[in-house]
Structure 1
Amino acid sequence: MVSPAQVATVRRIRCHYASGEAFAAALRAAGDEQALQVFTTERFEPGEEVLAEVFFTGMNGKMLIRAIGKKWHMARPRLRVRAGGVLRCSGSEWRKLQFLREVALGKATMAPRRRHLRQPVLVEIRWRRSDASDLLPATISEISEAGALLLTDAGLTLGEEIIIEITTPGGARPLELTSIVRNTRGPEGVGVEFLRRNSGGLTRIREVIRRLVDQ
């Protein structure tokens, strides 16, 4: 029997900046490596995991970053200090912030906004090749209606068809998603596209995302 997926329920924190320069300054002002200064009235605790909704003028769309709270403080109007704090990131999430800094400084450009927004998650799944029966463990770190980012050491090849099994909290049995490998070049993982997204299949995928992602 498949054990339930391990899912962390996290809050979304709005982290918007007036300009790219303001965002780059927030990275510098954090005063710590792999950290970002944020301005928000939503209190977060040290060590709390959150989803930072990052946006600044010039971006094609918002980007969600999984982060850990370092410190938060209330506003101090007399000192002209806004409410906010510092978030820390690591791994692929920090690389996203580094890329956004390059965009903010005009050294890189963002690709056109995806039709389907990828949601950061952290869920254990099982998968197998379409011509095999043995299930292998892996982790999904991003998911959308169109596909997912699969973290696995297995040597998957471009165009290979696989079956992904996801068990959601409260789910009676795992949902099988037929997928095809679309990207193996990224250092963060393997990009897969969900196939057979007819009306019934799309409804099931949306339900999976609803259960996995904190609304």
Structure 2
Amino acid sequence: MKRLSAPRLNQLVARVPGRDIPIVMPETAQSDPGLAVCLAWQPFGSRAGLSVLFQLDERLAAAVAQAREPMLAQVRLAWWRERLSEIASNPASGEPLLARVSETWGPSGGRLAALVDGWEHLVGEPSLSTEDMTAFATGRAEALRAFANHAGAGADADAAASIGRAWAFADLAVRASDEAERKMARSLGSAETVALPRSRRLRGVAVLGGLSARALLRGEPIMEGRGAAAAAMRLGLFGR
């Protein structure tokens, strides 16, 4: 991967969360243990929608990480953007993940194309700029904003967007290939104001927000270090 370290990405995926988390991971849990914990706290009725969002983000990350040439990554991202734009008129698809987007999100699944827009800014020249990082964060922010509306918590859409930005910067702060870029991502993320949603319909998103803010403060992945499991439990129970 040009800008994000593929070995580091693999380490993040393989890491196991703290064994003191007294919750059962849902069937829709992700390979990233931090996101799996967030899903476990998301109310069942909208959990599948959040899971699909995370799965799509992970697929796009792989498209960027595994492409040998930037042009190949661009082609893959363009394919996803086009397919997502067609979901409202053509929900049927031979791609299982697209089918799940259609099943869980319906016509509004096209709004997840914001993730594609964000990942596209991590393809190109080796140097990752502030503008690229910010655009990537905006992609995740708009995807979580769309999820808040999808989950019936539109009043908390701005809070969900702030969490999307924090999640993006926290991710880059540990996954960017260059130390200077990691420091820049952490600085940008630390300057963000993370607003935790009030609605219980976004409890899993609140967990993601709190863990992302904690990760930026500590310079660690969102479920690493002592106290991560306890922080997830507190956020899951009280949303704060």
Question: Larger C-alpha radius of gyration, 1 or 2?
Answer: 1
Higher strand share: 1
- Fold-level similarity (TM above 0.5): no
Higher helix share: 2
TM-score by length of 2: 0.29
- Highest relative contact order (Cα 8 Å, sep 6+), 1 or 2? 2
TM-score by length of 1: 0.31
